[in-house]
Amino acid sequence: MGAEPIERKEDLEREVFLLSMVNALSGTLQDVVGLKDAEGYISTVGERIGETICGAYRNSSDNGEIKPDDLSYILTDLKARIGGTFKVESEDSKTIEFSNTKCPFGSFVDGRPSLCMMTSNVFGTIAATLHGEARVELLKTIANGDGCCSVLVHTDGSAGGGRRYFAYDD
């Protein structure tokens, strides 16, 4: 007879396959080019995805616009849609602090801190689009074994730490 059927269907579902592929790609990048360069490659992907997502929210709005005040809603809604549990811990006119206890990459993020550049770049790209520039600080990450994520988004890119992002005109 041939191969035995896989008993647990979830072991070979599309999502598990795609997450396994992302995990293997990020791990290969980290091993071959090092963590810093892997973060750079993944940052580029995150920026492109951030632009696409920002456009999708803009297209779904009644008037084709999204406002700077929509930022915290967009970022938490986005993460909820892809399986994260990001929530706003505090917010003022210049800073939004997010916490998260469930990574959209699940256990596939373990040991893959370069994947956190997806969050940084998607958040940074969207925040910069709405505010002109922004900074994103990843204070804690599940990928680094912290057990949770703590992310600060500075809507004034000239202040705060972390990575700086700028809005680009089309």
For the packed helices 35-60 and 71-81, what is the interaxial angle rounded to 10 degrees? 110
pLDDT in tens, 82-102: 999 999 999 999 999 999 999
Predicted confidence band of residue 158 (pLDDT cuts 50, 70, 90)? confident
pLDDT in tens, 134-144: 999 999 999 99
What tokens does 72 get?
A: 């915290």
> Is the confidence at residue 11, as pLDDT, over 70?
no
Give the C-alpha separation, 80 to 157, whole Å.
25
Rounded to an integer, the average pLDDT of 75-85 is: 95
Residue type, 72: S
The reported pTM is 0.88
Location of structure tokens 């997010």: 98
Question: Mean pLDDT score of the chain, rounded to an integer?
Answer: 91
**What gap in Å lies between CA 157 and CA 136, rounded to an integer?**
9
Cα–Cα dist 11/34, whole Å: 30
- Spatial CA neighbour of 82 closest among 99, 60, 106: 106
The strand ranges marked E within 15-66 are none
Alpha carbon distance 106, 109 (integer Å)? 6
Residue whose entry in the numeric block shows the structure tokens 């993460």 = 79
Position 4 scores a pLDDT of 64
Q: Is 136 exposed, middle or buried (0-12, 13-18, 19+ CB in 10 A)?
A: buried
Domain ranges of the chain: 10-166
Query: How much is the pLDDT for 12?
Result: 67
What is the C-alpha separation between 139 and 146, in angstroms, rounded? 10
32 band by pLDDT with thresholds 50, 70 and 90: very high
Contact indicator for 134, 96 with CB cutoff of 8 Å: no
Q: Name the CATH architecture for the domain at 10-166.
A: 2-Layer Sandwich (3.30)
Q: What is the pLDDT of residues 45-62, one digit of tens each?
A: 999 999 999 999 999 988
Q: Is the CB of residue 70 less than 8 Å from the CB of residue 53?
A: no
